[in-house]
């Protein structure tokens, strides 16, 4: 027993040193972050094996068309009012658990707008002479009705700080997703369907696997909410505001891939998708864990407390900690692609460039601070200016420099948003002190 405690003491010393460097509650980060790391680990493992199968068994054209359809559907995801999910997390963190049930119902109803999107997209693709894309887009739009509301339980568990429950549900859904996509890829590989049916199998498999298991866990989470649980009265209005704020961001998330497809074709989009795959997985992991841990904490503070809490120093330290990881990836990328994705050697340099943008990830906490404290005006300015700048960069650089231009535009846009968020936090705090 004494030997066990002797082993623990050095670990406690290391944790205290990290806490002094970051000047934050590392016990909370470690406790919550451990479960969230399990979630991301399961996601990374599934994504890793599927990416190898995509690279080896799918043609670049099929994979490029698949990525295009998902991005074309994703750009309309604001119709499901994703801002309601953000508003719900803050509301539940403040004790309004009934907001979870109300949010799910409202998002399902708003998701019905995807029927109009599907029909409109169907006729637009037909007018462009792309009948295969038209039918796949129409069918995919029907799944999108359920995509956003089905994942609400994740935000609910985050708000309740029940990271263990979220971890188990996430692992279950990822296993289901991985098995469905494995079956889809292998059926294409060994049955040899036409390009149309290959695309249909991939898109329907992805959307079904991304929805069905979540509906099961959503139902389970909803049952745990008391029937008389209160709902925050500003839930819908805040959710609509957050959604409107996020529309430009949603557009920039998918716009580069859509521009690349229309200007350069599906093969170039496949190359770009593999270039951003690993940096995006790293970025998604850090963003997901960081935001999930930060949101419940930030929701209980006002803007002055956030500004005066030393947040800028913490963010600078997190950025410094990311530098070795970025350098390591840049050095290892050629070997990773050579052995895992030999068909996508052209993706290496673009991927190395995109890795630089990982240093801007901590800026996400600044943007989250504006939302959590209901600084709607400044959050709107942050989203609008940052996203419009990103769109302008895409429009300028992609037609001139192709995939290289897309990478340069993405890096510049993320760093600009990083510094813009910091400036607006300072401005909001200063205005608040004057009141």
Query: Is the predicted pLDDT of residue 396 greater than 70, yes or no?
Result: yes
**pLDDT tier at 334, thresholds 50, 70, 90:** very high
Q: Which of 216, 233, 250 is the last residue of a domain?
A: 233
**Do residues 276 and 260 share a domain?**
yes
Cα–Cα distances in Å, from 286 out to 245, 249, 282, 403? 22, 18, 6, 25
Tell me the C-alpha distance between 292 and 80, whole Å.
21
Lowest mean pLDDT across 75-84, 255-264, 296-305: 296-305
Look over the chain and give the mean of its residue pLDDT values, rounded to a whole number.
84
| 267 is a domain residue | yes
Is the residue at 200 inside a domain? yes
Residues 147 and 224 in one domain: yes
Nearest to 96, CA basis, from 280, 233, 259: 233
- 348-376 pLDDT, tens digit per residue, is 999 999 999 999 887 777 777 676 666 77
Domain around 94: 25-233
Residue 19 lies in a domain: no
Clarify whether residues 213 and 325 are in a common domain: no
At 291, the pLDDT band (50, 70, 90 cuts) reads: low
Q: Is the pLDDT of residue 207 over 90?
A: yes
User: Are residues 188 and 325 located together in one domain of the fold?
Assistant: no
Are 208 and 294 in a shared domain? no
pLDDT at 177 over 60: yes
Q: Is the same domain home to 211 and 257?
A: no
**Predicted local distance difference test score (pLDDT) of residue 318:** 80
The least confident of 84-93, 123-132, 271-280 is 84-93
Stronger pLDDT, 322 or 265, i.e. the higher one:
265
Q: What is the pLDDT of residue 306?
A: 61
Q: What is the pLDDT of residues 48-79, one digit of tens each?
A: 899 999 999 999 999 999 999 999 999 999 99
Cα separation of 359 and 321, whole Å? 9
State the Cα–Cα distance between residues 367 and 363, nearest whole angstrom.
Answer: 7
Distance CA 220, CA 224 (A): 7
**Whether residues 216 and 271 fall in one domain:** no
Task: Flag whether pLDDT at 11 surpasses 70.
Answer: no
Count how many domains the chain has: 2
Domain boundary among 233, 265, 294: 233
Residue 245 inside a domain? The answer is: yes
Q: What is the pLDDT of residues 83-115, one digit of tens each?
A: 998 899 889 888 889 999 999 999 999 999 999
pLDDT in the model for residue 271: 97
221, part of any domain:
yes
The pLDDT of residue 281 is above 80: yes
User: Are 259 and 182 within one domain?
Assistant: no
The answer to whether residue 249 is domain-embedded is: yes
| Residue scoring higher pLDDT (300 or 112) | 112
Stretch 372-394: mean pLDDT: 84
Which of 204, 233, 262 terminates a domain? The answer is 233
**Whole-prediction pTM value?**
0.82
Asked whether residue 5 is domain-assigned, the answer is no
| % pLDDT > 70, the chain | 83
């Amino acid at each position: 027993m004494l030997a066990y405690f002797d082993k623990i003491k050095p670990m406690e010393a290391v944790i205290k040193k990290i806490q002094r460097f970051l000047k934050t509650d590392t016990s909370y980060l470690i406790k919550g972050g451990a479960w969230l790391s399990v979630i991301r680990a399961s996601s990374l493992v599934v994504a890793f094996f599927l990416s190898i199968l995509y690279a080896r068994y799918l043609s670049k054209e099929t994979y490029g068309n698949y990525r295009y359809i998902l991005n074309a559907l994703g750009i309309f995801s604001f119709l499901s009012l994703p801002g309601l999910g953000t508003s719900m997390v803050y509301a539940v963190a403040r004790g309004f658990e009934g907001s979870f049930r109300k949010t799910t119902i409202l998002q399902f109803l708003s998701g019905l707008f995807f029927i109009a999107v599907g029909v409109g997209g169907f006729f637009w693709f037909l007018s462009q002479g792309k009948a295969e894309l038209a039918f796949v887009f129409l069918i995919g739009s029907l799944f999108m009705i359920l995509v956003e509301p089905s994942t609400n339980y994740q935000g609910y568990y985050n708000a309740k700080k029940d990271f263990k429950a979220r971890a188990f549900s996430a692992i279950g859904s990822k296993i289901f997703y991985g098995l469905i996509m494995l079956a889809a890829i292998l059926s294409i590989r060994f049955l040899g369907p036409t390009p149309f049916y290959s695309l249909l199998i991939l898109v329907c498999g992805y959307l079904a696997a991304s929805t069905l298991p979540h509906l099961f866990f959503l139902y389970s989470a909803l049952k745990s909410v008391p029937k008389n649980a209160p709902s925050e009265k500003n839930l819908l209005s805040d959710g609509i505001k957050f959604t409107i704020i996020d529309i430009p961001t949603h557009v920039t998330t998918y716009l580069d891939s859509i521009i690349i497809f229309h200007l350069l074709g599906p093969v170039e989009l496949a190359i770009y998708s593999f270039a951003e795959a690993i940096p995006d997985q790293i970025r998604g992991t850090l963003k997901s864990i960081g935001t999930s841990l930060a949101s419940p904490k930030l929701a209980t503070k006002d803007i002055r407390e956030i500004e005066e809490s030393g947040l800028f120093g913490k963010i600078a330290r997190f950025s410094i900690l990311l530098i070795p990881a970025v350098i390591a990836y840049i050095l290892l990328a050629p070997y990773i692609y050579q052995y895992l994705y030999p068909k996508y050697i052209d993706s290496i340099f673009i991927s190395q460039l995109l890795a630089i943008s990982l240093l801007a990830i901590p800026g996400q906490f600044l943007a989250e601070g504006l939302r959590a404290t209901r600084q709607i005006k400044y959050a709107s300015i942050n989203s609008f200016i940052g996203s419009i700048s990103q769109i302008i960069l895409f429009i300028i650089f992609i037609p001139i420099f192709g995939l290289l231009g897309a990478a340069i535009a993405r890096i510049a846009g993320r760093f600009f948003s990083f510094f813009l968020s910091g400036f607006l936090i300072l401005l909001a705090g200063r205005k608040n002190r004057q009141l």
